[in-house]
Amino acid sequence: MNKNYDGLAIFFESFACDKNCPYCIAKDNIQFLNKNENFDQLENLLKQFSESGLHFDKFILSGNGETSLQDYETLKGIAQIVSNYSNLFRNKRFYTSGNLFFEDKKFELINRYFDQINIMINSLNPELDMQVTRYNKAIWSNENVKRAKNIKLDISLTNYLDTEHFIRDIEERLKEFPNIKKVKLKRLKYHGEETKQSKWIRENMMSEQAIDKLSEILTQKYPKFTNSKDTYFKIKEDCNLILNAAGRKNPTKWLFIKNDKIFNYYDEELDMKKVLEGEAL
């Protein structure tokens, strides 16, 4: 029986963020506000997963807004428990939009216990990125970015990407930060209903023609290979760039922990017996 899942994720339900991104839905979604986080049974859950022979390709710790704004003791507790069950996961990832690097104590904790730090940005040009997010912290000048052992950049495919100078910008970043091991360009997702966030995404999302132009520029410069959903470019011996023009697919083979219960991507609570048997999804 196959007991492998694509991933296990903890998304903090309480909202905390130091940016003001125009496409963010979390702060306007009442169901996410002021929730009491409860991870009392996290160790027991992971123990059950381990004893049942489950395996996850990835573990993700993220949140509604900026993950690193959660209190230190909460982050420490989760990091240590997950580390005790590292055999469950091929890779453990922490998501931040930059603030983590400005909190030394939290950075040291995450850099110690996690395999990879994912930085979510809109442009390699700091001025353009700060223009989108209304953020006044320049993360690239922070020494902790250089000290991170493994970084992945998640860059939104919007008109702020600065396609014309992308090759120059990415090569400058990789030269200055050899710890960047993966770069992913992906479309922002929005649902059909009209909101101010979805309107911003529609108006600022990179066009098909611009994405094709970017792909052509990358193809002329770097070795290219593809799989069923993404196009890859080897931009350095130990660093691939992933172009995900179609947008991220719903993670249907993922489990999500919320207040010590297990849910699927569609926020439906799952039967623990089926989860442990590898048959929940």
- Classify 50 as helix, strand or coil: helix
**The pLDDT value given to residue 268:** 92
- Conformation bin of residue 10: beta by default, left when phi > 0, alpha when psi is -120 to 50: beta
Q: Which amino acid is at 235?
A: I
* The residue to which tokens 């922990």 are assigned: 257
Residue with tokens 């997950």: 82
Token pair 């991933």 is found at 7
For residues 15-38, one letter each, b for 16 or more C-beta atoms within 10 angstroms of the residue's C-beta and e for the rest, the string is bbbbbebebbebbeeeebeeeebe
Structure tokens at 16: 């905390």
Instruction: Quote the Cα angle for 189-195-198, to 5°.
Output: 25
pLDDT at position 64, please? 79
Could you list the beta-strand ranges (E) of the chain: 4-16, 55-65, 89-96, 116-121, 151-156, 180-186, 224-226, 231-236, 239-244, 254-258, 261-263
Q: What is the pLDDT of residue 223?
A: 95
**Spatial separation of the C-alpha atoms in residues 33 and 14, rounded to whole Å:** 5
| Cα–Cα nearest to 182, from 107, 111, 235, 108 | 235
Residues 96, 120: contact at Cβ < 8 Å? yes
Q: What is the largest CA-CA distance in the chain?
A: 53
pTM of the model: 0.92
pLDDT at 30: 44
Nearest Cα residue to 132 out of 17, 265, 23: 23
Residues of the chain short of pLDDT 70, as ranges, are: 1-2, 27-38, 191-192, 228, 247-251
pLDDT of residue 249: 64
Q: In angstroms, rounded to a whole number, what is the distance separating the alpha carbons of residues 190 and 196?
A: 11
Question: What percent of the residues of the chain are helix, what percent strand, and what percent coil, each to the nearest 5?
Answer: 40, 25, 35
d(CA 132, CA 160): 8
pLDDT at 191: 64
